[in-house]
Amino acid sequence: MRLFVTGTDTGVGKTEIAVGLLRVMVARGLTPFACKPWESGGRDADSDATRLRHAAGDWQRPAEVCLYRLKAPLAPAIAAEREGRRLSFSRVVRHVRGLEGDGVVEGAGGLYVPVDRTHDVIDLVRAVKVPVVLVARAGLGTINHTSLSLHALEGVELAAVVLVQGTKVADPSVPTNRRALERRFPNVPFVGPVPFEPNAKRRAALVERAVEPIIASR
């Protein structure tokens, strides 16, 4: 069971969902791999790669989880250019293809984020053929962003679309968005919305409960 967690945008809840998927896998007795091929900005201690590695059971070396750690909080290709570094897309493809067993890959930002001069995240999704979990905001704007991402993913196996309410603001679209998207994409399994929960422990429990059916159905 391998899943590629991508999103309609940056900051939509990909890491929260990827961590939840890994925890559910571990709870089921699996030893999943975590993979965050490119990561930009932030500190190592609370990076996505570190969180994913912990959630997966801490058996991987950090350099196996994240191939390219970039300083500036920018799209990987842009951050790399600043540092005068060259990112090898084929190295990432080989690495992800070579991961054995079950696990979760988290992309960077959304699908059309550049990861070198000629490739975007979606090129990795298509190259590795790992089923996708698309994370989307639960609120206003998500019908548009989710539809755009799903059209971009035509022909790719979809495990689920997960709606996440990552902010506290009152938004009357939250209760209706999932139904509206289900009508538009009747063959896509939707999950959520995962409610806003500021307490990390309670949030983790909510996320695990929400993503459990994605694992159970595979």
Ligand X SMILES: Nc1ncnc2c1ncn2[C@@H]1O[C@H](COP(=O)(O)OP(=O)(O)OP(=O)(O)O)[C@@H](O)[C@H]1O
Q: Give which of Mg ion, ligand X, none residue 171 binds (C-beta under 5 to 8 Å, depending on kind).
A: none
* Helical (H) or strand (E) element with 5: strand 2-7
Q: Segment 147-206, which members bind ligand X (CB under 6 A)?
A: 164-166, 194, 196-198, 203
Catalytic residue positions, numbered: 36
Does 9 sit near Mg ion (CB under 5 A)?
no
Can residue 39 be called a binding residue for Mg ion (CB under 5 A)? no
Q: Does the protein bind ligand X through residue 90 (CB under 6 A)?
A: no
Q: Which of 2, 4, 6, 7 binds ligand X (CB under 6 A)?
A: 7
Closest to ligand X by CB, 45 or 187: 45
Closest distance to ligand X from the beta carbon of 77 (Å)? 15
Beta pairing partners, 4? 105, 132
Give yes or no for residue 48 binding Mg ion (CB under 5 A). Answer: yes
Q: Are 180 and 143 in contact (CB under 8 A)?
A: yes
Q: Does 103 bind ligand X (CB under 6 A)?
A: no
Q: Which two tokens stand for residue 31?
A: 């030893």
Dihedral over alpha carbons 34, 35, 40, 44 (to 10 degrees): 40
Name residues whose C-beta falls within 8 Å of residue 35's C-beta, 6 or more positions apart in sequence.
52, 65, 66, 95, 96, 99, 103, 104, 105, 106
Q: Where along the sequence are the contacts to Mg ion (CB under 5 A)? A: 14-15, 48
